[in-house]
Chain A
Amino acid sequence: MSFQRACALSELPETGAVGVEIAGVPVAVVRTGGEVFALHDVCSHEEVPLSEGEVYDHTVECWLHGSCFDLRTGKPTGPPASKPVVTYPVQIDGDDVLVDVS
């Protein structure tokens, strides 16, 4: 377990995502409803960064084909994606968002 700084909390929009890279792993850091989540930043269907998608209903939408991924579980709520994306634990330390990708 090793939490590493992903970004500043203030960099995150109230509802939306930021794409970062931690130890070579692309991570989408998502804030919605005052909570912060972290998911693997590549759609499980094609090579698309999820952090470029819209956030709503506790999901992030892949902009290319419209599959939405649940922020808590990483599971897609609809096709064409069928496999979940990996989710990562998040800690908030002051203004820092820490994510554990190990």
Chain B
Amino acid sequence: MPAVETAAVSRLHEQQSFNVADFPIPGGREEDWRFTPLRRLRKLHTDESLGDGKVSVDVADAAPGVTVERTEHGDPRLGSAYVPADRVSARAFASFGEATVLTVAAGTESTQPTWIAVRGEGADGAAFGHTLIDVQPNAHAVVVLEYTGSASYADNVELVVGEGAALTLVSLQTWAEDAVHLSHHHAQLGKDARLAHTAVTLGGSVVRLAPSVRYAAPGGDADLRGLYFADAGQHLEHRLFVDHAQPNCRSRVTYRGALQGDDAHAVWIGDVIIRAEATGTDTYEYNRNLVLTDGTRVDSVPNLEILTGEVLGAGHASASGRLEDQHLFYLMARGIPLAEAKKLVIRGFFGQLISQIEVVELRDRITAAVEAELA
């Protein structure tokens, strides 16, 4: 019996259900929907039936030791690690036609990435999906998830990382400019499991991605990184949640974004709960936003709820601002024209994050995509 009774203050992450009706239709004032333009979600959050959109999921060549299956509702593995946490997520779970299951056999060690290509064939009608990546004990796997084309798409990606296993996942949201995508990526980490999750969001009209982590046993380590670039009219939202419910786990969240153009909107929510039993927790959340023009909007909200004093470290930081004049002056004083100087500073701003991406062949591609945004 603890001397002081502690109750979780936030109720934000308490509700979970497979039943869509358990979540009321959001009206826009709810804490978890207040930054999202509901009007632009193409009714994915309502109870209206939506036409059948077409989205294909292909796994081209799986790395050795990785098995790819297609399953349907009723497969007991689906939803075993993740219970939907909002209405759209519950709807996606109830409505998907076919789930993609990747199983990485125990003890497999492979640095060759397995590519999951999700391609939308049109924004008319809605499509729903489910992906489960099961990394069995002591296996190491690298997976790239790539969303392209145009679609109105809601999906859940369930990541199960077993004891002593490691998963590197890079999720590329390179949608066409009319796409609407709402997605939950939920990872369950076993004892001493490691997760490196990188979200790169450049495309789409509205993208709302919610990566979350829950530790099932002590010793887990989660590194969640993100890079986004919002252009005129784009709404790019990342909602991170790390639930420290086990002792001696570590988490790092590092997101960097840039915005340019009228009504470019970036939202970053970084929630961490350190529960009373999670002693020895080490967590830090970090968000930086670079505002390149007038007319943009950034909402960055880190929330940290600590219910034990016995932590190794717990912190967060968030800042949004313009390019610093001194940086530009430094470069221009060395003969570099303003436009070039801006590009160099922005390249540096993202460079550290890009260089951490484990899939080497993606680094150049992402650097080039960011430069193309600046052109």
Contacts and interface: CB of A to CB of B under 8 A. Distances in A.
A26 B39 contact: yes
B335 interface: no
A24 B38 CA distance: 13
A84 B37 CA distance: 18
B163 to A, nearest CB: 44
11 contacts: A26-B39, A42-B39, A46-B34, A47-B28, A47-B34, A47-B37, A47-B38, A47-B39, A48-B28, A64-B29, A83-B295
Interface in B1-38: 28-29, 34, 37-38
Interface string B38-52: 110000000000000
Interface in A80-97: 83
A51 B132 CA distance: 44
Interface of A: 26, 42, 46-48, 64, 83
A46 B37 CA distance: 9
Chain B, interface size category, equals under 10
Nearest to A24: B39
Interface of B: 28-29, 34, 37-39, 295
A86 to B, nearest CB: 12
Chief secondary structure at chain A's binding surface:
loop
B279 to A, nearest CB: 39
Given A47-B37, A47-B38, A64-B29, 8 more contacts: A26-B39, A42-B39, A46-B34, A47-B28, A47-B34, A47-B39, A48-B28, A83-B295
Contacts of A48: 28
A97 to B, nearest CB: 22
Contacts of A83: 295
A83 B39 CA distance: 20
Contacts of A47: 28, 34, 37-39
Contacts of B28: 47-48
Nearest to A48: B28
A72 B346 CA distance: 41
Contacts of B29: 64
B54 to A, nearest CB: 24
A74 to B, nearest CB: 15
A48 B29 CA distance: 8
B369 to A, nearest CB: 29
Nearest to B36: A47
Nearest to A83: B295
A26 B37 CA distance: 13
Contacts of A64: 29
A26 B28 CA distance: 15
Contacts of B295: 83
A23 B37 CA distance: 18
B203 to A, nearest CB: 23
A42 B39 CA distance: 11
Of A26, A47, A83, most buried by chain B (CB within 10 Å of CB) is A47
B354 to A, nearest CB: 33
A53 B39 CA distance: 19
Contacts of B34: 46-47
Nearest to A45: B297
A76 to B, nearest CB: 15
A42 B29 CA distance: 13
Contacts of B38: 47
A47 B29 CA distance: 8
